Homo-oligomer: A and B are copies of this chain.
């Protein structure tokens, strides 16, 4: 049902909020009316934060992570990180997630998405050429490339494609461990995950 709104200006904002992912018409209206009731200064802060992000955020020329400067990103310039270890992720969302685990001290390569013919996204639309070049022409030899794609159909496709593209470069390629989530009840684990966790079982002594 198209809602009748008492003002076109209000309608514009509702439509704009409605374009955001996961925001339906009802939520869009709630957010809009919330905005309308906020002090001008708070709304100003909101609007400025978004505008500033759009103008001032740059992309790192090496790993395609975001950065606030013209040059390399905070991770690429960090000497304490292991630059011979490259973790390939789909977007910076996954980069942030891995960073938050505190378990990874290498560097990244952000693809900018995953291969998805349904959405018209092929290898050419992703930062794959730059990855290949980066591995091939690295100053210090690359010790390992970790393919950290999602375990979805598109993620697996991307994973396999990357494996084939990078194989000729003779660099060790690994992928994320798959198995039970921490805290999973065996009884409720899905069959595929449970099956794989049996096939990929690890010696007790090497478990981390």
CB-defined contacts of A95 to chain B, threshold 8 Å: 6
- Does A173 have its Cβ within 8 Å of any Cβ on chain B? no
B6 touches A74 (CB 8 A): yes
Q: What residues on B are CB-neighbors of A96 within 8 Å?
A: 3-6, 29
Residues 72-113 (chain A) with a chain B CB within 8 angstroms: 73-75, 91-93, 95-96, 99-100
Q: Is A7 located at the chain interface by the 8 A CB criterion? A: yes
A22 at the interface (CB under 8 A from B): yes
Residue A142 lies at the interface, judged by CB distance under 8 Å to chain B: no
A177 at the interface (CB under 8 A from B): no
Beta-carbon contacts under 8 Å, A104-151 to B: none
A66 to B29, CA, bound (A): 14
Q: Across the interface, name the chain B residue whose C-beta is closest to A32.
A: B53
Chain B residue numbers with a CB within 8 Å of A66 are: 6-7, 10, 36
User: 20 more A-B contacts (CB under 8 A) besides A7-B57, A20-B31, A43-B51?
Assistant: A1-B100, A3-B96, A5-B96, A6-B96, A7-B67, A7-B68, A10-B53, A12-B49, A12-B52, A12-B53, A13-B49, A15-B49, A21-B31, A21-B34, A23-B31, A29-B93, A29-B96, A32-B53, A36-B66, A44-B51
